[in-house]
């Protein structure tokens, strides 16, 4: 089980909360499981999965159903995670979401991230 402090922001708002990931399917090349999120003004559930290609480079997807304010939204994030050091991953992600399941409310999101992991869960 992995517990993370998560946050998200844009030009209009900011949110923070916790995510708990349970990854029962995990070996050196593949990981999959379920993730629960709860934060200020949002909640969600996701099915994260990742595959390692070379070294510590992982490609991932996490189909998600969550809230966008008071609207239910399905999301599909896709990304790549590269460990620059054992406990320092860099991440690039693209995501599409559909607030209220309406194609007219489609949103695209792009992001870059750098993190520090307190334990080396990359192995």
Give one DSSP letter per residue of 17-82, joined into a string. Answer: EEEEEEEEEE-SSEEEEEEEEEETTEEEEE--EEEE-STTEEEEE--EEEEETTEEEEEEEEEEEE
| CA atoms of 119 and 110, how far apart (whole Å) | 27
Give the pTM. 0.82
Q: What is the pLDDT of residues 92-118, one digit of tens each?
A: 999 998 888 888 888 898 989 888 877
Structural contact between residues 76 and 63, judged by C-beta atoms closer than 8 angstroms: yes
| Short-list 29, 22, 21, 27, CA closest to 5 | 21
Strand (E) or helix (H) holding 104: none
pLDDT in tens, 19-63: 999 999 999 899 999 999 998 878 999 999 999 999 889 999 999
């Amino acid at each position: 089980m992995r517990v993370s402090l998560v946050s998200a922001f844009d030009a209009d708002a900011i949110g923070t909360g916790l995510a708990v990931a349970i990854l029962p399917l995990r070996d050196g090349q593949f990981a999959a499981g379920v993730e629960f999120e709860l934060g200020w003004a949002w909640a969600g559930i996701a099915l994260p999965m990742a595959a390692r290609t070379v070294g510590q480079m992982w490609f991932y997807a996490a189909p998600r159903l969550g809230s966008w304010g008071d609207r239910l939204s399905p999301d599909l994030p896709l990304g790549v995670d590269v460990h620059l050091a054992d406990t320092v991953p860099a991440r690039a992600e693209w995501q599409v979401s559909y607030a209220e399941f309406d194609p007219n409310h489609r949103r695209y999101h792009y992001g870059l991230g750098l993190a520090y992991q307190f334990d080396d869960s990359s192995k």
